[in-house]
Amino acid sequence: MAGPILVFDSGVGGLSVVQALRRRLPEAALAYACDNAMLPYGQREDAWLVPRIRAVCEAAVAASGCSALVVACNTASTLALDALRTCLAIPVVGTVPAIKPAAQMSRTRHLGLLATSATVSRPYTRQLIQDFAADCRVTRVAADALVTEAERLVAGELPDRATLRQALSPLWKDPELDTVVLGCTHFPLLASWLVEEAPRQVTWIDSGEAIARRVAQVVTALAPRQGSEPSFITAPDERLGRGLATFGFAPPRLLHPA
Ligand code: DGL
């Protein structure tokens, strides 16, 4: 029997991918897992992150009985996709910064990449830029503060506008920059605030729709959606539970990764 599609992130960022999946596959059963005990991933050591991501995903896959895993986290995907594909017997769909579509859209050939400290400096990201945006200038901006703001938003608070403005400011130094890649799944949750804080109009691109498209290709037998859906966390957090409920998830169960 087909199981749900499990969406995994360090925190609430994967909920932006849940929104894209619900638009493309409204009938599909989803499950959500996040490693909130170890958030944020973007400022942790790679050598520590790989076994941690693997342990949490293995525990969440077993607990959810899912048929596919969506790693809805750029920081995890640019590091641990191969490790996850080796240890899991189900399809694994990753999330990487949308450099390729951004390069296709930019007229000025100057892109901004807004992501976590880890993602902006990863060899995987450098390679993406080399492969798909070699003729572009790419201003890479580490914006870890936006992860916290997105977490606050889902917990029911308003984001702090001064923090958003400051995080975005390195993007505006060159008036030629015309396209911004949201290379962290937390950031699309803040999209309307980011647009408001931008001093001029640019094109904002995230990976949500592309991931949903890929999932629809990879997962052929979909379990039907019925009522509120399972969610899993790694540390008790009432506000997070309430936030997950607003996205259609049942009260989270605690995971115990090995
Ligand atoms: N949502 C994650 C991403 O797409 C990162 C958040 C974190 O730093 O944990 O990269």
Give the residue, out of 34, 75, 78, 233, with the most ligand 1 atoms within 8 A of its beta carbon, to mutate for a pocket test. 75
Count of all residues that appear for the chain in the document: 258
CA atoms of 191 and 252, how far apart (whole Å):
26
Centroid of ligand 1 to alpha carbon of 150 (angstroms):
10
User: What's the pLDDT at 220?
Assistant: 85
Cα gap 158→177, rounded to integer Å: 28
Tell me if 148 is assigned to a ligand binding site: no
Residue 35 has pLDDT above 80, yes or no: yes
Q: For residues 234 and 252, give the distance between their C-alpha atoms in angstroms, rounded to a whole number.
A: 9
Report the amino acid identity of residue 115: A
Q: Decide: residue 25, CB within 10 A, 0-12 exposed, 13-18 middle, 19+ buried.
A: middle
Query: DSSP string covering the chain, please?
Result: ---PEEEEESSSTHHHHHHHHHHH-TTB-EEEEE-GGG--GGGS-HHHHHHHHHHHHHHHHHHHT-SEEEE--HHHHHHHHHHHHHH-SS-EE-----HHHHHHH-SSSEEEEEE-HHHHH-HHHHHHHHHH-TTSEEEEEE-THHHHHHHHHHTTPPP-HHHHHHHHGGGGSSTT--EEEE-STTGGGGHHHHHHH-SS--EEE-SHHHHHHHHHHH--SPPBP-SSB-EEESS--HHHHHHHHHTTBPSPEEP---
Query: In the numeric block, which tokens belong to residue 232?
Result: 């899993």
Residue 206 phi/psi, 5-degree rounding, is: -125, 180
* Residue 221: per-residue pLDDT: 86
Q: What percent of the chain has pLDDT over 70?
A: 100
**Which residue CA neighbors atom 2 of ligand 1 most closely?**
73
Domains and CATH numbers, the chain: 5-95+209-254 (3.40.50.1860), 99-206 (3.40.50.1860)
For helices 123-132 and 74-87, the axis angle rounded to 10 degrees is: 100
The atom of ligand 1 lying closest to the CA of 183 is: 4
pLDDT reading at 109 higher than 90: yes
- CB-based contact 8:34 (threshold 8 Å): yes
166 token code pair: 């400051």
Cis peptide before 40 (omega within 30 of 0): yes
Please tell me the predicted confidence (pLDDT) of residue 33.
Answer: 98
Residue 256, annotated as binding a ligand: no
Residue type for 114, please? L
Q: Which atom of ligand 1 is nearest to the CA of 76?
A: 10
Using an 8 Å Cβ cutoff, are 185 and 77 in contact?
Answer: no
110 is in an annotated binding site: no
Catalytic residues: 73, 184
CA of 42, closest atom in ligand 1: 8
Distance from the alpha carbon of residue 75 to the mean position of ligand 1, in angstroms = 5
pLDDT in tens, 126-153: 999 999 999 999 999 999 999 999 999 9
Contact 186, 243 (CB under 8 A): no
Taking the alpha carbons at both ends of the chain, their separation in whole angstroms is: 27
pLDDT at 81 over 80: yes
Structure confidence by residue, pLDDT tens digits, 82-107: 999 999 999 999 999 999 999 999 99
Ligand 1 site residues (CB inside 6 A) read 9-11, 13, 39-42, 73-75, 116, 119, 147, 184-186
Please check if 36 is assigned to a binding site: no
Distance of CA 9 from the midpoint of ligand 1 (Å): 7
Q: Which atom of ligand 1 has the smallest separation from the CA of 144?
A: 8
